[in-house]
Each structure stands twice: as C-alpha cells, then as structure tokens.
C-alpha cells in the first residue's frame, strides 16, 4: 500500500470567532487545515465574561489556542469581528503566513476572505449549514463543520465515508462537476484527469467533498451515476461523463 503524500510545509493561521463557532468541531478542523501546513498560529476571540464561551476557554488549554479578550463595548455591535479582521490583515502583510482558517458562520467575514485570496493565499472557512452564501463563496474552500464532525464520527465507528447516500449529492453539485469536466482536457476515450476536474470545480466555487460526507473527490464521483472512473498507472484517477 502506497504511503500518503507528505503534508505541505506551510505556516497556517487559524482565527476563531468564539461567538459563532463550536469547540466540539475543533479537532476535525485542525485535521483539514493540515492540508495547508502546520497550524502554528491559533487564536480565539470573544468576551470571556460570557458563560456560553466556557467550552472555548477550556479548549485554549487543551489545544494551545491563544485567547483574545474583546469586550462588548456597544450593544448590537460586534467588536470581535473587527479585532479578528485587523489581526488577520497584520498576519497577512507580515508575509510569514501561507494559509488561513476562519472558524465562523458570520457573513461579516466575507470581505476578509476575499482580501486574503487576492493576495494569493488559500483561506478555508468553517461554519454551519446556515452560513450565508457570500462568505461560503469568498473562501477557497468552505466546509460545513457538522458534516465534517459526522463524517469523523462515522469513521471512528467503522463506517466508510463512501457509504453516504448518493441522494446527498445535489443537482447543483452534479452540474458543477459536469461543467468542470466539460472544461477539462480529455483524451481520445473521453476521460479527463480527476485532479483537473477538481481544480476547475474548486476554482469556480468553494465546493468541498467533505460537505457531502465524502473524504475524497473520487468517492463523490463514484456516487454520481453521471460519471465513470478508472484508476491508471501511478494511481491517478480519470473520469468520463456517461450521461
């Protein structure tokens, strides 16, 4: 069995909006961010006077997260968002961070995600299924943390991610995959590199297979009857549209 490819040697910053994120999802979030490198910068922002943030207060110790206190100065105004944004821009322009993770379901972070991407850095968003589309699409990848947690729990219980029903793959996602396939270079048999299809899909959307209970794009493609896939020499996967 071939060993997995080495993780990238990046320096990743994870910034957490404690008011709009759950500490229960932190472990799988850190696992996903390993795709970008090592999460050396871990910060969580909130008003620690709030009893609702006790879970995050405990997580700062168990996960080595630096807590940032932000008082609620004016009712109805979220100073935490502003502090997170300022810190993110400071980190961005120091030039030592190679990727960002933003844990929040707040649409106010949409401009921040867009600005980070404009500098050529990947930014992964982690939020709930109710996160506004604007923030989702502003991220390089947006991942539904509950779907991520459910997938990790199923794996621990011995289930396989590919057991997820194909009904979870919406018509919108199928259309995105078809469009990405149509835009990809194909060989004489009509097959396109799955890696190429995935890159094109990801370039047009914050699409991530983990939102649908699949660990890999190849698993998702296998659950969509519109495609046929085959593995070739070197383990590379190629796909062909059949309907």
Residue 142 domain boundaries: 11-154
Residues 170 and 140 placed together within one structural domain of the fold: no
CA–CA gap between residue 219 and residue 216 (Å, rounded) = 5
Predicted confidence (pLDDT) per residue in 64-118, tens digit: 999 998 776 655 456 788 899 999 999 999 999 999 999 999 999 999 999 999 9
How far CA 46 is from CA of 51, 63, 111, 169, in Å, comes to: 11, 17, 20, 36
HSE-CB of 55 using CA atoms within 13 angstroms: 12
Are 149 and 165 contained in the same domain? no
Choose between 63 and 205: higher pLDDT.
63
- What is this structure's pTM? 0.75
Among residues 122, 154, 186, the one where a domain terminates is: 154
* CA proximity to 83, closest of 100, 74, 70: 70
pLDDT score recorded for residue 154? 62
Mean pLDDT, residues 124-144: 94
Distance CA 131, CA 124 (A): 14
- Same domain, residue pair 102 and 167: no
Boundary (domain end) residue, out of 98, 126, 154: 154
27: Cβ–Cβ under 8 A, 6 or more apart, which residues?
152
The total number of residues shown for the chain amounts to 243
Q: Say how many domains are in the chain.
A: 2
| pLDDT at 158 > cutoff 80 | no
Band of residue 39 on the pLDDT scale cut at 50, 70, 90:
very high
Instruction: Let me know whether 131 and 201 are in one domain.
Output: no
Decide: 235 and 2 in contact? Cβ < 8 Å.
Answer: yes
Are 201 and 127 in the same domain? no
Co-location of 134 and 190 in the same domain: no
3-state SS, residue 107: helix
Q: Residue for token digits 């009509």?
A: 190
Query: What is the predicted pLDDT for the residue at 198?
Result: 87
**Do 146 and 214 fall into the same domain?**
no
Are 72 and 15 in the same domain?
A: yes
1 found inside a domain = no
DSSP of 25-81: GHHHHHHHHTTT-EEEEEEEEE-TT-GGGHHHHHHHHHTTPEEEE----STT--HHH
88: enclosing H helix or E strand: helix 79-94
Q: Give the span between the Cα atoms of 243 and 221, in whole angstroms.
A: 13
Q: Are residues 29 and 149 in the same domain?
A: yes
Residue 38: CATH number of its domain: 3.40.50.1010
| Last residue of one domain, picked from the residues 154, 180, 200 | 154
């Amino acid at each position: 069995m071939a060993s997995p490819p080495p993780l990238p040697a990046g320096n990743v910053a994870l910034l957490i909006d404690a008011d709009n994120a759950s500490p229960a999802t932190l472990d799988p979030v850190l696992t996903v961010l390993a795709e970008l490198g090592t999460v050396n910068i871990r910060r969580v922002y909130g008003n620690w006077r709030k009893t609702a943030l006790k879970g995050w207060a405990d997580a700062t110790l168990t996960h080595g997260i630096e807590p940032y206190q932000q008082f609620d100065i004016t009712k109805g105004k979220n100073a935490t968002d502003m502090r997170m944004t300022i810190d993110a821009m400071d980190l961005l322009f120091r030039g030592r961070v190679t990727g960002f993770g933003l844990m929040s379901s707040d649409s106010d972070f949409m401009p921040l995600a867009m600005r980070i991407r404009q500098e050529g850095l990947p930014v992964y968003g982690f939020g709930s299924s109710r996160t506004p589309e604007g923030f989702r699409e502003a991220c390089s990848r947006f991942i539904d943390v509950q779907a991520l947690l459910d997938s990790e729990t199923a794996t621990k219980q011995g289930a396989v991610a590919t057991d997820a029903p194909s009904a979870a793959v919406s018509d919108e996602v199928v259309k995105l995959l078809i469009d990405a396939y149509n835009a990809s270079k194909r060989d004489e048999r009509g097959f396109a590199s799955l890696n190429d299809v995935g890159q094109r899909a990801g370039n047009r959307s914050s699409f991530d297979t983990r939102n649908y209970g699949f660990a890999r794009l190849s698993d998702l493609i296998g659950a969509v009857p519109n495609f046929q896939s085959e593995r070739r020499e070197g383990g590379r996967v190629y796909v062909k549209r059949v309907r």
